[in-house]
Structure 1
């Protein structure tokens, strides 16, 4: 289905407010919504739904676009806000990991299998889009009937159902000097025995390409939770240095994790945020840029600095290596990249990544893995 036709059908039905968190399956609609005057990109799916509910309460029909992996972030406001207060919102969710989990990345398997059942369990009406314009109209008719009952409706979008289109440049602005590959390369060159957690998507893939090592935990799903992993490890392994390599969109998604870092103050934690003002892994959709150093100091990090060049980044990482943290390093980088790094799953399963990391982190502890079958 043409992306313009999809978005046009929603506007024809009176939808005038849009929010969401990008997915590559919905790249085309998001590219068009970037140009819509009442589209607000949200840091996480729950906030997107509350934004839409606010628009509905103000008399404007609202739609939210998400990836089904973010359905968990959506469940609280879906059940305790929309269903509890009779607020109808249209939700458009991609169907990653469905119908064949093996055709997608492993971290989409559980939600791919569980999306339909989750919606059925909480009593939210839904339907799967087949790419036929008539099918879309039929689903929107069902959404109208649910709206009359003051209920939300979910349109589920499998891979390849809606076409893509170019993401707008977003106006003239000065691009940072560093790109993602260069920034990760500088960081990787300084890693020795640090336990390193890298965030969702391209940043993990860049680290894998630059310096694959047992001490790297490539967090390919669970967007926004790399800082939680790092803080948990830093607090329980105070004798080990811990590095979290984050992205701006991921760090924003669960900013409360950074607030907890500042409150807890682990001296062995360094938090690096690569900021390109976009969701690069899903197509380059825009995200808010923040002054990460200033924010970190306000949250209670011991040191914080913005490093705009490779030389600055290298010198600062060398300097703070011997200083107590927690440290925040904000790194402005350019959108996009000149290459596509390899997927971690080309060499390691998720279980292998976990097992070797656990062995590196606690080499004297037994691995938590499946027992060998009896002979």
Structure 2
């Protein structure tokens, strides 16, 4: 058994200062220790997949050798499969995973862990995530972290430490790190109830976004599907990234980047289907989102890239959700001019949100990006290494 401080301090020496995850009783000492240190950062995610995507965003924006850790119970691997297989693996965005081993064979545990325990190693192996058991002796901590870093640096992919019961001594929680409730702001709905064929197109909306996002001070992260493909077709700029897979992960990904790079204005382009898939992240953005994060949701009420099947977005006030979750401003409507108004408005004390209803349909022959995910990631990282100051993005 080790002390939480022994691992966290060894990790800090190696650049790990960002943590995110969902608690497990095995992780309690760990999380409690991180919460007490103002120089360490912990984000309490709504689910484990959001935590993985958030730390991927941290990795994207990391400077000076900084690194991130995602912590979860092994049951949460199910929630994390999508970003672990189509975000961190595909884009080569490494992170250290600490996964608890509930239901470990031979260790008595609750019935819900009866299946997950035995299959945890196989799940990690199947996702091509190398792993070893979490160190339980002080002298084993450094070598374990060094092996993880060596793999992460060589491959650009995650490495996991699987924590068995009783690996870390108790550490008392002195301050829960409870998020301060932000001032509530009412959502604003300025919909004109126009006919479906009179709604703006995705192309028109994306043209407005491009016009307001200077290359040297903003980053535009586009959700999976036609949103990213159409943005690429209009103008493939070095300050843009096109998500593939990882549906619903663009906003936690953007949050990680925005928090690590406050000098950049980060714009997350979302879709209604993706937002509905991971609506819990609205609360995370409302609690932790900084002023340099803007969330734009283009809502056509359909899964356009899979044949146009309807979503349930007509039942949802996305601006109402954003406002209730603590966004600094939240507006929705069917006028593409809302995007102009958003960027013309001053930055506030938290993230801004706008949902624009758009027309269904996509231009014929819409190309897929020819730049590969690792290459678009590398291009963006090189670009933001010399970019900065979000003043011009207002």
Q: Bigger relative contact order, structure 1 or 2, given CA contacts below 8 A and separation 6+?
A: 2
User: TM-score with structure 1 length normalisation?
Assistant: 0.50
TM-score by length of 2: 0.48
